[in-house]
């Protein structure tokens, strides 16, 4: 186990966490991370915020300096795409040759979903936002006065909308659903975020379905046509309509898939020598199968895989948490609110939180500029407890005492 050859496909958040953990817990064999991007592992959250606005320099995005890997004898191959997995031979193929493994970890992340080229998705000023290269490609379009249309009001679209306003752009967001953030948060939290954007001059159009992006004779998007006939003039379009888990290699290798690469609670795929973690992996969680797209999940699931490769045999059973920064609001979410039958609002000064319950059982807390409420909610969820829904909304009640922590 200690001397086994470990190869990770993808050199992002999950792969970096895997490698660091393996060395921390005493793995001594070769570790190779193979990533198709130009950079060593970096963090994506600043891409839609500081980096997009030019406020952070590229190397500060790197999760660890290059020396971290060399000092620990972790090989990071950048700009190297894995093209196939040979499970019988236990090798992966790259243009430079094949790399053998004893344990393979698929950390391939997710691809930004694009609009079809037939409706303008491939025009030169129509972008997606997933990688450093994506941001570098669009940065020169992010200029004061330019009109940006953002397709999709999920976290990425809304964070980019906030950055656009900070850059002095005219920002319109179109959302096909009847409200923003439908996949991610309940209606109360979404209403607060919507009001925040409106107060900063972002125009949000719900139930607005894009029909086509129209181009000028140079192949540049100039207008977006909506179903129903409305037309919106644009200088740049950003498509933020979610991601697709990167499962191509796993599929070609015959591994089980289920909304991503299907792993068990140890992080193992249908092949005992192949593991998976991060955005690409779906795992069993409290009676259902979920796939999370968050830094926390990439880090913790990859660390659990590292532990299990080394023989820990421990399940991965996270309390999911997530954050999003938009304008001056930090939204922090602990738990998953899907299935909530009741939501209680708590406001204390500028700190605001929404507590989602199924009956009396706490499912999630969404906290807006309320770090204390978030931490208490998260601790309660981690302990498997609840917090009285009758009292949580009363700002005069001490949350910590109420939670018994």
Ligand X SMILES: Cc1cc2nc3c(=O)[nH]c(=O)nc-3n(C[C@H](O)[C@H](O)[C@H](O)COP(=O)(O)OP(=O)(O)OC[C@H]3O[C@@H](n4cnc5c(N)ncnc54)[C@H](O)[C@@H]3O)c2cc1C
CA distances from 143 to 153, 223, 263, 339 (A): 21, 18, 43, 41
Nearer to ligand X, 108 or 353 (CB): 108
Count residues binding ligand X (CB under 6 A): 35
Of 352-371, binders to ligand X (CB under 6 A) are none
- Find the binding residues for ligand X in span 53-82 (CB under 6 A): 81-82
Give the nearest distance from C-beta 4 to ligand X in angstroms: 21
Residue 323 binding ligand X, by CB under 6 A = yes
Tell me the closest approach of the beta carbon of residue 341 to ligand X, in angstroms: 27
The closest alpha carbon to 232, from 170, 315, 275, belongs to 170
For the CB of residue 159, give the shortest distance to ligand X in the complex, in Å: 6
**Residue corresponding to tokens 């290269």:** 133
Q: How far apart are the first and last CA of the chain?
A: 40
List residues bridging with 56 in a β-sheet.
none
Q: How far apart are CA 248 and CA 170, in angstroms?
A: 38
SS3 assignment, position 351? strand
- Is 298 one of the binding residues for ligand X (CB under 6 A)? yes
Going by C-beta distance under 8 Å and a sequence separation of 6 or more, which residues neighbour residue 371?
A: 330, 332
Q: Is 50 in the site for ligand X (CB under 6 A)?
A: no
Contact present, 214 and 122 (Cβ < 8 Å): no
Q: Draw the binding track, 214-253, toward ligand X (x: CB under 6 A; -: no contact).
A: --------------------------------x--x----
Choices 45-53, 114-122, 181-189, 311-319 (CB under 6 A): range interacting with ligand X: 45-53
List of E strands, 25-169: 31-34, 74-77, 82-86, 91-94, 97-100, 103-106, 110-112, 126-127, 147-151
Helix axes 155-166, 187-199, angle to 10 degrees: 20
Measured torsion, CA atoms of residues 144, 149, 151, 152, in degrees rounded to the nearest 10: 60
Instruction: Using the CB atoms, write b or e for 206-229: b if 16+ within 10 Å.
Output: eebebebbbbeeeeebbbbbbeee
Per CB under 6 A, 47 contacts ligand X = yes
Q: Which residue is nearest to ligand X (CB)?
A: 12
Q: Does 282 bind ligand X (CB under 6 A)?
A: no
Q: Which stretch binds ligand X (CB under 6 A): 142-150, 256-264, 288-296, 353-361?
A: 288-296
**Footprint of ligand X on 97-116 (CB under 6 A):** 107-109
Min separation Cβ 24 and ligand X, Å: 18
CB 322 → ligand X: shortest distance, Å?
Answer: 5
Residues 11-40 within binding reach of ligand X (CB under 6 A): 11-15, 34-37
The residues binding ligand X (CB under 6 A) are: 9-15, 34-37, 44-45, 47-48, 81-82, 107-109, 129-130, 156, 246, 249, 278-279, 293-296, 298, 322-324
């Amino acid at each position: 186990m200690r001397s086994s050859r470990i190869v990770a496909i993808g050199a992002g958040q999950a792969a970096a966490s895997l490698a660091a953990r393996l060395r921390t817990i005493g793995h001594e064999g070769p570790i190779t991370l193979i990533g198709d991007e130009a950079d060593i592992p970096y963090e994506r959250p600043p891409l839609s915020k500081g980096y997009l606005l030019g406020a952070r320099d590229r190397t500060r995005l790197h999760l660890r300096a290059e020396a971290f890997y060399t000092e620990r004898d972790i090989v990071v191959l950048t700009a190297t795409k894995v093209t196939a997995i040979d499970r019988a031979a236990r090798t992966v193929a790259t243009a430079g040759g094949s790399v053998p493994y004893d344990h393979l970890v698929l950390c391939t992340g997710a691809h930004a979903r694009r609009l079809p080229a037939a409706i303008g998705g491939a025009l030169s000023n129509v972008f997606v936002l997933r990688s450093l290269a994506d941001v570098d490609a669009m940065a020169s379009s992010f200029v004061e006065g330019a009109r940006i249309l953002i397709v999709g009001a999920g976290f990425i679209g809304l964070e980019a909308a906030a950055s656009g306003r900070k850059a002095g752009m005219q920002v319109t967001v179109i959302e096909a659903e009847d409200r923003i953030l439908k996949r991610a948060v309940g209606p109360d939290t979404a209403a607060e975020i919507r009001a925040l954007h409106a107060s900063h001059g972002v125009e949000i159009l719900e139930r607005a379905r894009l029909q086509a992006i129209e181009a000028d004779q140079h192949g540049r998007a100039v207008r977006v046509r909506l179903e129903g006939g409305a037309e919106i003039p644009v200088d740049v379009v950003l498509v933020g309509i979610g991601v697709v888990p990167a499962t191509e290699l796993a599929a070609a290798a015959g591994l089980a898939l289920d909304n991503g690469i299907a792993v068990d609670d140890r992080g193992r795929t249908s092949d005992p020598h192949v593991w998976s973690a991060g955005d690409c992996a779906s795992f069993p969680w409290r009676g259902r199968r979920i796939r999370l797209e968050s830094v926390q999940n990439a880090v913790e699931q990859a660390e659990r895989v590292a532990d299990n490769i080394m023989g820990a045999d421990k399940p991965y059973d996270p309390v999911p948490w997530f954050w999003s920064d938009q304008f001056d609001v930090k939204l922090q979410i602990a738990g998953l609110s899907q299935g909530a039958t009741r939501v209680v609002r708590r406001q204390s000064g500028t700190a605001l939180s929404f507590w989602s319950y199924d009956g009396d059982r706490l499912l999630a807390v969404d906290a807006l500029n309320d770090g204390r409420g978030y931490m208490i909610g998260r601790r309660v969820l981690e302990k498997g407890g609840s917090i009285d829904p009758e009292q949580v909304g009363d700002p005069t009640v001490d949350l910590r005492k109420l939670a018994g922590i």
